[in-house]
Amino acid sequence: MAYDQTYGQTARRHARKTMAKPRNEELDQACLKWFRQLRGTATENVDQFRDKLRSLIDCEWLSLNQVYNADETGLYFRSLPTNTLADEKEKCVPGRKLSKTRVSALCGANATGRHRLQPEVVGTAKNPCCLRGVMDRLPVIYYPSRVLTRIFSNWFFNHAFKEIVRFQTETLGIPCDQVKALMLLDNASAHPCERELVGENGRIGCLFLPPNTTSILQPMDQGIIAATKCLYRRKFLGEVMVVLEDDDEVTAEEDTRGARTLENMKKYTLKSAIFNWATAWKDVKTSTLENGWKRLLSGEEPVDDFEGFEATDFMNQLRNAGERVTEETIDNWLESDEGDPGYQILTDEEIAASVTATEEQLANEDDEEDEDLIPDIPKLKQVCEAIDMLIDYMEHPNTNNEHFRPALPTYLRESREKIIKAQQRA
């Protein structure tokens, strides 16, 4: 029973569903009794921890700008709802399924929502082909799971600590020697113990939530990560789904949208997912971030803030692309990675293999990871033609120019001139 992962985030969606009758009523009653006992214990821990947190905030003279929470989650970044045209096409193709491609992500922010920590993404390969050339310009902190142990410690000391110091000194105007903060974490096995997570000044530390309370107390689990995933999935659908324009008509016999969407999914790489995830995290409302802390700080129930992200909203987006999906299908899709804690427990053999792997082996794995997903580099002539087409579209009298910055056509023309010079030198 995935109590820790399901409570709170999906209460509204689950409320619409009807529970099937159990096959074994005695077992079901025993599980229910255990669940209620666990919940009762968790409730007692909640009240005790809330008092402990309030006392710590008061004793350390912390403001809510100095109290943080961070949490990991898993993300199937190329997943589509079942029974879509592309999903049916993919089922017929042997080999690795794009929809099962997974990364882990970490999000963190303070209790006021004024400071969002740079998100972290953990992939498989050390140097994915699609990230070569942009690794130092990514909007996230990227880690390879196969070659780096103690990822969380690295993130905490090398990134989160520095970001917190910078925010407090530059934004809050706090002297550097007076910077302090408290990071709340769940007791996941991927996290080191509290005494290991203390900043060099001794004034930035961590406090673990009580066991079996993360789904009740952890702010990131109170709709914040769920909202980020919804924003991400809306961007993902916008990039891969094929929507017909104007008077384009198709019949069932000649409808190629499923195949075209599947091709778009193949072009949708880890780089696409990283940039969309970073944008989604940035687009989460400040009110959503604040709302996630209500249950922990004051015992208030968080107010649902999923306007625009209901199953019906995604269903309309998919139907505009010619898909015939049901609300239940969308619900299952939105919940597909909800219980994923964002980390995987490795066996001893896997740990040993990751430690002893040679650079050559890792490089070969990187190449195998996504070499079939990297398109050929466009020719300079094709780039110029694409720029010309974009300029023509932006300057057409019937185009809504509100979507574009006024200086963009000028910038595009300058870029085209540089490309033409590069052609001439070649």
For residue 29, pLDDT beyond 50: yes
Cβ atoms < 10 Å from Cβ of 19: 7
Cβ atoms < 10 Å from Cβ of 101: 22
Looking at per-residue confidence, does 133 or 36 come out higher?
133
Rounded to two decimals, the pTM is 0.79
Q: Which amino acid is at 351?
A: I
Q: Can you tell me the distance from the alpha carbon of 100 to that of 49, in angstroms, rounded to the nearest whole number?
A: 38
Is residue 120 exposed (0-12), middle (13-18) or buried (19+ Cβ within 10 Å)? buried
CB within 8 Å of 91: residues ≥ 6 apart? none
The backbone torsions φ and ψ at residue 102, rounded to the nearest 5 degrees and listed phi first, read -130, 145
pLDDT in tens, 48-94: 999 999 999 999 999 999 999 999 999 999 988 887 777 776 666 55
pLDDT in tens, 369-426: 554 456 678 888 888 888 888 888 888 888 877 777 788 888 888 988 888 888 878 6
Question: What is the β-pairing status of strands 102-110 and 120-123?
Answer: antiparallel
Q: Can you tell me the distance from the alpha carbon of 200 to that of 206, in angstroms, rounded to the nearest whole number?
A: 13
- The helix (H) or strand (E) run that includes residue 182 is strand 181-185
pLDDT in tens, 228-283: 999 999 999 989 887 766 545 555 445 677 778 888 888 899 999 999 999 999 99
Question: What is the β-pairing status of strands 102-110 and 67-76?
Answer: antiparallel
pLDDT in tens, 159-218: 999 999 999 999 999 999 999 999 999 988 889 999 999 987 789 999 999 988 888 899
Question: What is the β-pairing status of strands 181-185 and 67-76?
Answer: parallel
Percent of the chain with pLDDT over 70: 76
